[in-house]
Chain A
Amino acid sequence: MPEENSKDALERRNPEGLIHLGGTLVQRAIDDISAITALQQNKALQTKHINVLVVDDEPLMTEMLCRLFREEGYEADAAEDGDVAVKKVQMKEFQLVILNIRMPRMDGLEALPLIKTYSPTTKVIMYSGNCSPENKAKAKRLGASASVLKPASNAEILDTVRKVLQGQAT
């Protein structure tokens, strides 16, 4: 068989020097780009206008989580203890609160019933290094949707958030 890819053959096919108008390598890129952009649009639609309040007395933790949520398209705000969190929930609608347990002034388990009273539709995820079975059971009784043991990977946090927002059991 003659060598089809020789330079001469190519020049004959493309007398004006324009080589590729298509081919499978190009088609695959178009398909993959469509898939990537569809995924991004979907994600943006899912997370758009969802306000998340991150409550933790450790500023590094709130900063890291807020950045993670913003990168995913959520609106994120922070509170340094339960008391500030309750005040923020009274003033603004949050779809989700990420709540630490051990904090000065008002801890997470004290703040949780108040948050659920002021805003019953707000979902709460307990995020604490102190997720004993007792604390988990208490949090569930008080209306928390899930408890995640600190520290957790970004993927685990986001996965729990998605499930909770979609109303799935965790």
Chain B
Amino acid sequence: MSSNPKASLELTPEEKELVNKRKILSDREEQLAELELTFSTLQAELKSFQVEYFTRVGSKYVEIDQLQAQLDRLYASRQPSNDNAKKTADASRERAEHSSREADDFRITSKKTESRFEPSQELKALYRELAKLVHPDLALDQEEKQRRHKLMQEVNDAYQAGDLKRLRDILASEKMSPERVKGDDIGSSLVKIIRKIAQIDKRIEEVLSNIAELAKSDMYLLRERVKAEREKGKDILEQLATTLDHKISNLKDEISNIKSQRAN
């Protein structure tokens, strides 16, 4: 509350409304920045988790499928008149091809994601500040919106890459932007603020639904399972990898047995 009640009495109704709306806008800006931060963090964490998952476990499934396909092909070639053996071999081959295509997708992400994502407090704080300053949904004209959209993407990339310097540079140059020093009368300021609030509300809905989309994905589910086991002191990915290694070694043995039978 103001220490001088007279001062607030002197405000016109439009001015009072402007003060109220500015407060609402500022709260919404905070809320949106926090949500964008959550979303960007979750994206980066999932990306680095999927690299870890693929390196330690996913690639072993691909190897198992390839070995299984090789084994079934050997069985089928030994019994050319057995239709079931041929069908099994075809199904195994398709499965191996499918896994291999999925593996390619993982390999591309692995190249783009270097290490475990652990954002510092400073990185997060810079992101929040920039999200409030350059968010595309705070722009009123189309041209500015497009400029900010690109800028926001840059902010997200720099954040997910942990690039503090880049974030600082963007912040410094944006603070100097002529956008920040435009003056307006009360009426048009009020209209602008009301529109900004509406745009922010729309974006908040979008980000919430994006977060929900990520949170119901299998990758998220898998990460949560791994995290929960890790908190109990168990490395479940390691246990799974050991099980898969065992399968791989059994398949290799079976293949070399068949090959040696053929040679005899």
Contact = CB atoms under 8 A, between A and B. Distances in A.
Contacts of B219: 20-22, 26
B62 A25 contact: yes
A5 interface: yes
A36 B236 contact: yes
A167 interface: no
B223 to A, nearest CB: 10
B92 interface: no
A15 to B, nearest CB: 9
For the residues of B in contact with A, the DSSP-based class is helix
Interface of A: 4-5, 7, 10, 16-30, 32-34, 36-37
Interface in B85-109: 98-99, 101-106, 108-109
B101 A5 contact: yes
B112 A24 contact: no
Contacts of B156: 16
For the residues of A in contact with B, the DSSP-based class is helix
B243 interface: yes
A33 B225 contact: yes
A26 B222 contact: yes
B217 A25 contact: no
B58 interface: yes
Interface in B138-159: 156
Given A26-B58, A33-B226, 8 more contacts: A5-B105, A10-B108, A16-B156, A24-B98, A25-B54, A32-B244, A36-B240, A37-B236
Contact of A29 (B104, B213, B240): B240
Contacts of A28: 61
Contact of B58 (A10, A16, A18, A29): A29
Interface stretch (B23-31, B42-50, B194-202, B256-264): B42-50
B153 to A, nearest CB: 8
A29 B53 contact: yes
B47 A30 contact: no
Contact of B239 (A20, A23, A27, A36): A36
Interface in B213-227: 213-214, 217-222, 225-226
B57 interface: yes
24 contacts: A5-B105, A17-B43, A17-B112, A18-B46, A18-B214, A19-B105, A19-B106, A19-B109, A20-B50, A20-B106, A20-B109, A21-B217, A21-B218, A24-B98, A25-B58, A26-B219, A29-B57, A29-B61, A30-B221, A33-B222, A33-B229, A34-B225, A36-B240, A37-B236
